[in-house]
Structure 1
Amino acid sequence: MGFMTLNDEYHDNRKAAGAHRLSALDNPGRVGLFDRALWFDGLHRHCLADHAPHIAYAADRGDAVKLHLIDNGRSGLGSMANWYSFIWRPVFGGTPDAQRRRALMLSVAQKLSKTTHRLILSPVPDECGSATLIEETFAATGWVVRREPCDENHVLHLKGRSFAEYWQDRPGQLRSTVKRKGSKGVVSLRVEHRFDAQDWADYETIYARSWKPEEGNPEFLRWLAERESEAGRLRMGMASIDGQAVAAQFWTVENGTAYIHKLAHDERHIQASPGTLLTHALFAHVIDTDQVDLVDFGTGRDAYKRDWMEEMRPRYRLELIWPRSPKAWPYMARSRVAGLAARFGKD
């Protein structure tokens, strides 16, 4: 492959970045929720508005890459992500092969060395090669890179199985609970594909009565549910007892993947296991009706996820430090100390 002349640009506001929107970002058949331009726009407006948005961009002959970032002040730049993000990674447009992806990322790394002294990127996946690509290309351009696991992602690969085939492999205690509680007919279940204001109000009431901590940004979640409903991707599960909503779950489905965003049940009705029954109903729906290939339970080390899922994928935090900047030197020292501590801890 010959020398690539790259069109490199760095944008520090959404208006300028909008001029370079990649068509692939708006094509739901090509990218998932967490790579979509609409996701980053909503996440910034509702959750990260106090941080200036930055987009590192490189393009060449129809292929391009964008890194959606935010300004963290004196500590540098960070990934435009928070607790709602299952993943954060570079977003590619066009059809770049591995070599061209590497060239694009090398260009971005070089450009960012002139813009910031430090980046913190998470939660970065590596089953798609993103963490390794970032680590290798930034290191190759002179950045000091520290990579470490920061979270877990539990998933289920169906591999052609029906729901019945999947269910027979679940733990015996889980199957027994669903059989016993479901046979009593106390809990009514339904799965909706359209956003309903009353269902959402019920979800928020249930969440407030659940074991969950206070919701970080309920306005963003509602905005997301409404947008996903408009696109036909929403799957809202509701469980009721005597006409009263007692459990609710917010899922989305696209490109063969079901994402589990939020689930909650009213603690006052825990003996009826409405949350378990509702999860069972939603798994059945997305597997047999939507015919997904993958169910993604997001991030978190919750033990109950292992009853429903079969694989765990790590998520990584990457600290990237530009050593030629005096602003980076304190972070360099900290990184060396942390590295030494980790090495001696293994001895």
Structure 2
Amino acid sequence: MSRSFIRLSWITLVFIFLVVIAGSIVRSSGAGMGCPDWPKCFDQIIPPTDISQLPDNYQDIYLEKRLKKIDRFVNILNKIGLERVGEQIKNDDSLHREEVFNWVKTYTEYGNRVVGFIAGNLVLITFIWVLIKYRSKRKLLLLSFLNLILISFEGWLGSIVVATNLIPWVLSLHMIFALIIIWIQIEIIHIAQNKKYSISIPKTFKNIFYLSIALTAIQILMGVQVRQEVDFKVIDGVDRSFWIEELKNEFNFLFHRSFSWLLLIVNIYLFWNNKNKHFGIPIFNFILFLLTIEFITGILFSYANMPAITQPIHILVACLILGFQLYGLNYLKYSRESLLR
């Protein structure tokens, strides 16, 4: 395939990762409700910079709009059999309060939306390009179309995140779909590059590499659960300095913290074997480096009261580790199986 298409695929992946960064910065800075409506911000393409640019009753106006969107979302939940969840959302008193305008939070959230808008359009351009030039490649066409559907769904889910005032489980779902989009985009890059590798890799090494990917996915999902519990602390008004103290007895937090050691040991094994047996797969160097950063931010979480700056770094690095692992699947896919163990 053309270099231009491969370049576009990589740029798209970079912007998808930027969306993850932007979203985590928004969450850690408490700017998630900086824009009370969606897709515009205070019903404007370029949001206001001062409260004087808004009507006196702006909180009532946007609260009414949000409650209507919540009703529509609750109706969807009811139709798919989640009546209890819908009832909980409908009776959540926190959804009946509108935040006071803060231009810093507004532009932080607005930046997140701009990055998301660019990423969405890049996915759209990718699909159109495939449809015009590479439609004979059925798998590529299917994946590019699926990613377009998923990123559109992510946009809609983003509007629900705003409407539901950042309900934790909706945020978690938002994150999970972002990871699926990253996975699909990496597979699009694999197909576009069509690289073949002339290396011999033993079956045991391959299986442990597959295991490491599964462990990373589990660790990220558990991390999402921990973040969900942190979000509840925020909702309950618990001071940041007490978050870790209150999480120490939570199963998800303890599992997430202890499980990280297994992930590290498995990746050290892969790194060591890759180096000593000269498989020549460079991703394991990056993964071990990223795991070191992940451990440092995890230590800061536990012993420095979760500094806000470490949260987006921790989330981004976790996604990058999974991204490198998924990209590394191409080495295994086109390698010969060695008899070495």
Name whichever structure is richer in strand by fraction. 1
Q: Which structure is higher in RCO with an 8 Å CA cutoff and minimum separation 6?
A: 2
Name whichever structure is richer in helix by fraction. 2
**Above 0.5 in TM-score?**
no
- TM-score w.r.t. structure 1 length? 0.21
